[in-house]
């Protein structure tokens, strides 16, 4: 037993902070967690969870349309935005309670309020001071808004989940996963959508075939893709709406503008710079392989570090840190982490993109298939699925698996296990497919695409 009030004090009760607190407490540590907002952080309250619920809601539009092709008589269902928001709020409140019970059941003390560090072993919350042997920063991130005239006429993704009604026309500025996901959601729920991105193609960092395929499918759905358009300013429109203006005269009119231009870490008010904690230029905390900052005793995990901003990654970092603090130094493995984008259609991906593989390997073999899913034949829907394998020609190891199409995230999760085990293309070929499914295409692709 030390002279400190706590063995571990966690600042931030998001997915990573809560998991670290619970795991440390389970190992006998005295733990407190401070949170200024609702338990669960971004993911539970204004991120993954409510967004996925909205993705489900938007998907019913396709289901109603497709049902006619399968013999169901046509109906004219009506959508109620307030009903969706109310149902979403109930679920988020339930999850907040789950997080509170998990922390209470683990013996973790929950301290409400904004915290900062007075020194490496002292946390201040309001007018209270607490001492701790170890401090963990798990404060996550927040949306970034460009500094342009009229920027305050737009909103960020956090605010979408509490809008009183669905806007008829939505302009989304950005080209990351948040932008494409909300474009699909808003379009599926009935809004006219324009997606504005300064580059030639969105989702920078994803495989190029994924990017091109999704752009084509989104255009088919009537989403106005405004690529190569910089946003110079926002103006109030004559019709009571908002006009998005570019420097070369490009204009898009909307009733709501959503800034989806990236996220920045929540590290500005923690007192880190005063303590000598090394930060990168973007404000993220520099940590070593065991999540320790440049100041001994201060650790950081999740989106406030410059690693991989995914909820499951933050949770895995928390579990590795709990082992480290328990005397078993454990480093997080960032190799072959799968991810999904819940666009419409969705994306699933794991491993290297084709361009990454070509920069690492002397010989790369690519297998690619594009087809119309079986469900779409009777539905009459013009939507295609794309699947792709990236293979090391020298070792036959499958380096990357990529997909655009229904259930992509569910399908890629299983193939991520195979890649983690070092599966080869020959082993993919030797696996019997489940017929008729889309997933079987991954084990039946035999002919590589021509090498350009």
Rg (CA), the chain: 24
Angstrom distances, CA of residue 448 to CA of 348, 355, 366: 21, 16, 5
Q: Which helix (H) or strand (E) holds 420?
A: helix 408-420
Sequential DSSP letters for 44-72? HHHSHHHHHHHHHHHHHHHHHHHHGGGTP
Q: Which helix (H) or strand (E) holds 95?
A: helix 81-106
435 is catalytic: yes
Q: Where are the alpha helices (DSSP H) in 111-267?
A: 157-160, 177-188, 208-220
Neighbours of 183 (CB within 10 A): 28
Cis amide prior to 335 (ω within 30 degrees): no
Per-residue DSSP letter, 285: B
Neighbours of 435 (CB within 10 A): 7
User: Residue 86 burial by CB count (10 A; 0-12/13-18/19+): exposed, middle or buried?
Assistant: exposed
User: Residue 333 burial by CB count (10 A; 0-12/13-18/19+): exposed, middle or buried?
Assistant: exposed
Give the separation between CA 126 and CA 114, rounded to whole angstroms: 7
Helices 81-106 and 15-26: crossing angle in degrees, nearest 10, is 20
- Catalytic-role residue among 116, 384, 402, 435: 435
Please name every residue paired with 279 in a beta bridge, in sequence order, or none if there are none. 285
Strands 192-196 and 224-226: parallel
- On whether the CB atoms of residues 225 and 173 are closer than 8 A, the answer is no
Give the separation between CA 332 and CA 427, rounded to whole angstroms: 28
User: Residue 146 burial by CB count (10 A; 0-12/13-18/19+): exposed, middle or buried?
Assistant: middle
Q: Which residues of 62-80 are buried (b: 16+ CB within 10 A; e: fewer)?
A: beeebeeeeeeeeeeeeee
For 292, the 3-state DSSP assignment is strand
Could you give the residue numbers annotated as active site? 435
């Amino acid at each position: 037993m030390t002279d400190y009030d706590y063995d571990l004090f966690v600042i931030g009760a998001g997915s990573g902070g809560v998991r670290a607190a619970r795991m440390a407490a389970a190992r006998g540590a005295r733990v407190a967690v401070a949170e200024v907002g609702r338990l669960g952080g971004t993911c539970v309250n204004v991120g993954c969870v409510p967004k996925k619920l909205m993705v489900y809601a938007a998907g019913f539009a396709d289901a109603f349309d497709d049902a006619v092709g399968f013999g169901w008589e046509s109906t004219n269902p009506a959508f109620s935005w307030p009903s969706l928001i109310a149902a979403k709020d109930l679920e988020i409140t339930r999850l907040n309670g789950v997080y509170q019970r998990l922390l209470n059941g683990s013996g973790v003390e929950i301290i409400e309020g904004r915290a900062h560090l007075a020194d490496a072993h002292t946390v201040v919350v309001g007018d209270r001071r607490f001492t701790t042997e170890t401090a963990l920063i798990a404060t996550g991130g927040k949306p970034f808004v460009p500094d342009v005239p009229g920027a305050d006429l737009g909103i960020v993704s956090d605010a979408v989940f509490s809008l009183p009604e669905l806007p008829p026309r939505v302009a989304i500025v950005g080209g990351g996963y948040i932008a494409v996901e909300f474009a699909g959601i808003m379009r599926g729920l009935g809004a006219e959508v324009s997606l504005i991105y300064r580059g030639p193609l969105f989702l920078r960092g994803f495989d190029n075939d994924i990017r091109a395929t999704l752009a084509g499918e989104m255009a088919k759905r009537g989403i106005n893709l405004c690529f190569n358009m910089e946003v110079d300013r926002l103006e109030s429109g004559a019709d009571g709406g908002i006009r998005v203006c570019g420097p070369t005269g490009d204009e898009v009119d909307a009733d709501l503008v959503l800034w989806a231009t990236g996220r920045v870490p929540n590290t500005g008010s923690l007192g880190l710079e005063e303590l000598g904690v090394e930060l990168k230029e973007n404000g993220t905390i520099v940590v070593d392989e065991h999540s320790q900052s440049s100041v001994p005793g201060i650790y950081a995990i999740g989106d406030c570090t410059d690693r991989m901003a995914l909820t499951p990654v933050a949770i895995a970092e928390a579990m590795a840190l709990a082992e480290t603090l328990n005397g078993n130094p454990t480093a997080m493995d960032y190799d072959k982490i799968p991810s999904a984008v819940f666009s419409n259609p969705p994306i699933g991906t794991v491993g290297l993109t084709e361009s990454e593989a070509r920069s690492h390997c002397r010989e790369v073999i690519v297998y690619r298939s594009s087809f119309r899913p079986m469900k779409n034949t009777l539905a009459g829907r013009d939507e295609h699925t794309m699947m792709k394998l990236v293979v090391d020609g020298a070792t036959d190891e499958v380096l990357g698996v990529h997909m655009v199409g229904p259930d992509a995230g569910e399908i890629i999760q299983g193939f991520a296990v195979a890649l983690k085990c070092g599966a080869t293309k020959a082993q993919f070929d030797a696996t019997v497919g489940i017929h008729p499914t889309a997933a079987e295409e991954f084990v039946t692709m035999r002919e590589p695409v021509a090498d350009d």
